[in-house]
Structure 1
Amino acid sequence: MQKFAFFAFNGNLMCFQHVLLNVLDLDEKGHETKVIIEGEAVTLIQKLEESNNKLYFEAKEKGLIDCICRACSAKLGVLKYNQSTEIPLKGDMSGHPSMKSYIEAGFEIITL
């Protein structure tokens, strides 16, 4: 079993859909996967929640979405909404989730 941490930075919905597709596929095949939502991607949460996006909710229900960046959420004006989603907000590196903790836990980092 391999471990993959997908750091999603891109605020394009189609790009994020592909992150979700890959995370769900790898999970189904027995790999440990996590999504860390960073950068402009933090602005997608409300759209995904309100549109009842199937892939997003499947990943969320399986616990594959590890966290949302606290600093980016604040800077981009979506902190309050993102706090309401039951997905943890992290910011152990100047307000952003640190790749170091995932690397130390044995995850291969993939950025999109």
Structure 2
Amino acid sequence: MSKPTKLYYDTNEVAEIVGCEPSALRFWEKKFPHLNPKRDSRNRRRYTEADIEIVRKIMYQKEKQGRTLKGTREQLNHRETAQNLIHRLTRLREFLVELKEHM
């Protein structure tokens, strides 16, 4: 059986999962609008699996690709735009196929 995932992780847990310092997570939160963990009633950061994936993308771009913060931010924006375009085109294709079937 696989280990059940949690809905939310705190800063220290995420830092341990991805292998970075908690201060890096807080810094990246200021520099990357993509990384926006929710806050609980005590104003503590609560990261989701999606947030952790963004942190992994940031780390990969910086460490493996050797990008600067600006370059990493631009790359994340580019990927997000491409994914949105693919999603929109897929929906358009489904609509056109359905329209063709009803004619």
- TM (norm. structure 1) is 0.24
Hey, which of these two has a bigger chunk of helix by percent? 2
Asked which structure has the greater CA Rg, the reply is 2
More strand by share: 1
Q: Please give the TM-score of this superposition, normalised by the length of structure 2.
A: 0.26
